[in-house]
Amino acid sequence: MRFDEKMQLSSIQRWRSSERIALSILEQQGFQIVETHKKIIINGTEVGEVDIVARDKEGNIYAIEVKAGKIDVTGIRQAYVNAMLLNMKPMIVCKGYADDAARELAQKLGIPVIQLSDVFLVEDEELEIVVREAVEEALSNFFELLLTTPLELREEQKRILIALASSTTLQETAERLGMPLETLLKFLNEFRSLGIIPRWAKKWSSIKRIAQILVAKLTVKSTIEEMKNSLTVIQEMLSDIRKFHHNLK
């Protein structure tokens, strides 16, 4: 089997890879990822889905369509309609335009299009090194998170972490906490600056996973403190019993 045959990717794998690359590029350009795979619901019926919801530095919210290949007229129309239904600005991340008609339509509708490189030329050895280093870095990040001593948190901060850990989206988290999404995003920025949540955790899946780890650590810490308190009480009771027994003699 030739190397290029072994490396053939399914359409789903290619799309997931494109989505990961798109998330990375958006974050590098200053966007804050709000949600991924957001359902579009009208009168209780799901009518579509947006790949990425992101917020720019000015506070504008974008509904972003990700394409593993080139975007055509139909894809541009879909991205535009989805954004309008969500009352957001449209954006597309793809590997270029399928034809001039697609380019003209995107320009006419004012849709920003981020074009990815169509081919990544990487030697086998370079690819192995890149993948190994990425895995090592990811494992190192999570081991550091698991092994460090939990920070002392305010009750409000604990409440936010618990909501993050038990929600399916940032929007749901904000609703559970009874606060606007904008306020929740400010709290997340504060958490990063305080070191509660690592700066590298920007995707919702990473934020949720870290919140779950932190909540578990807080629970363990609280349980240990309760056990220590109980042990202290037991030791005091034993001391009183010994004194009482000694006095009886």
Contact 116, 95 (CB under 8 A): yes
CB 101 within 8 A of CB 123: no
Predicted local distance difference test score (pLDDT) of residue 13? 66
- From the list 46, 51, 49, the residue with the least C-alpha distance to 34 is 51
Backbone φ and ψ for 33, nearest 5 degrees, come out as -75, 120
Q: pLDDT by residue (tens digit) across 83-94?
A: 999 999 999 999
CA dist., res. 13 & res. 86, Å (int): 27
Query: What CATH fold (topology level) applies to the domain 149-248?
Result: Arc Repressor Mutant, subunit A (1.10.10)
Q: Over the stretch 110-134, which tens digit does the pLDDT of each residue have?
A: 999 998 764 454 554 555 565 676 6
Q: How far apart are CA 220 and CA 232, in angstroms?
A: 18
Which residues contact residue 77 at a Cβ distance below 8 angstroms, ignoring those fewer than 6 apart? 105
Same fold, 3-115 and 149-248: no
Q: What residue segments make up the domains of the chain, in order of their start?
A: 3-115, 149-248
Could you report the per-residue pLDDT of 5-61, keeping only the tens digit for each? 444 456 676 777 778 888 888 888 889 999 889 999 999 899 999 999 999 989 999
**Beta strands 32-42 and 45-55: pairing type?**
antiparallel
Domain 3-115, classified CATH 3.40.1350.10, yes or no: yes
| H or E element in which residue 32 lies | strand 32-42
What residues contact 99, with CB distance under 8 A and at least 6 apart? 72, 73
